[in-house]
Amino acid sequence: MEIIRKYFPNLSPLQEQQMGALAALYADWNSKINVISRKDIDNLYEHHVLHSLAIAKLINFKTGSRVMDLGCGGGFPGIPLAILFSEVRFHLVDSIGKKVRVASEVANAVGLKNVEFSHARGEDIKGKDYDFVVTRAVMPLSDLVKCVKKNISNEQKNALPNGIIALKGGELEQEMAPMKHHCTVWNISDWFEEEWFETKKVVHVC
């Protein structure tokens, strides 16, 4: 939890409490349903919570924004973002029911009121309701664009144009090539100094 305070020192007491509760909740659920690698559960705050919050270094979502987390797994990046942005609506979607269950139970346990969940594929989510779709290593960007462009609202609320915000790692040039004029990339290592973030990036596609 110290690593979260290091980069987000202005958390409210409620946000501190909610973030702090995640370790025990995920450890408990992970022992029943494996949503985080057993080897990685001890790195929950650095590799999962803080990684998710890199999106908050890129954009401060405006009140009333709607964000879909596609392929949310056990709740990343959606749950840490929902804790940080309590006035933003989050819709967490995954095609694997047991992962959605874990994310839902964790959100309920920490008292999140601004999240909803769907056990569904991205193709099944209808309506241009979202300012942003966020993802973490779910699918290649070109497939992602095809899947969710139908869901992006035309109404602009935020400083960043509506679109996709994807957490990615490694070499992205080839993956981004088909849409290079629509992509902007940020190095997470510009925000977080830990070695694990050296190859991690945030990609915005509009």
The confidence band for 84, taking pLDDT boundaries of 50, 70 and 90, is: very high
Cβ contact 53:8 at 8 Å: yes
The confidence band for 63, taking pLDDT boundaries of 50, 70 and 90, is: very high
Q: Mean pLDDT, to the nearest integer, of 120-133?
A: 93
| pLDDT for the residue numbered 159 | 95
Residue with tokens 């960007």, as numbered in its chain: 141
Distances (CA, A) of 103 to 15, 111, 121, 124: 17, 12, 16, 19
- For the chain, where are the alpha helices, taking DSSP H only? 2-7, 13-32, 51-58, 78-84, 97-110, 141-148, 173-176
Give the type of residue at 172. L
| pLDDT for the residue numbered 128 | 85
| pLDDT for the residue numbered 60 | 98
pLDDT higher than threshold 90 for residue 34: no
| pLDDT for the residue numbered 49 | 98
Strand, helix or coil at 37? coil
Q: What is the pLDDT of residues 88-115, one digit of tens each?
A: 999 999 999 999 999 999 999 999 999 9
Q: Mean pLDDT, to the nearest integer, of 10-26?
A: 97
Q: What is the pLDDT of residues 155-192, one digit of tens each?
A: 999 999 999 999 998 888 888 787 878 899 999 999 99
pTM of the predicted structure, to 2 decimals:
0.95
The confidence band for 39, taking pLDDT boundaries of 50, 70 and 90, is: confident
| pLDDT for the residue numbered 191 | 98
- Pair of tokens at residue 28: 């408990």
Specify the range with the lowest mean pLDDT, choosing from 12-16, 79-83, 86-90, 171-175.
Answer: 171-175
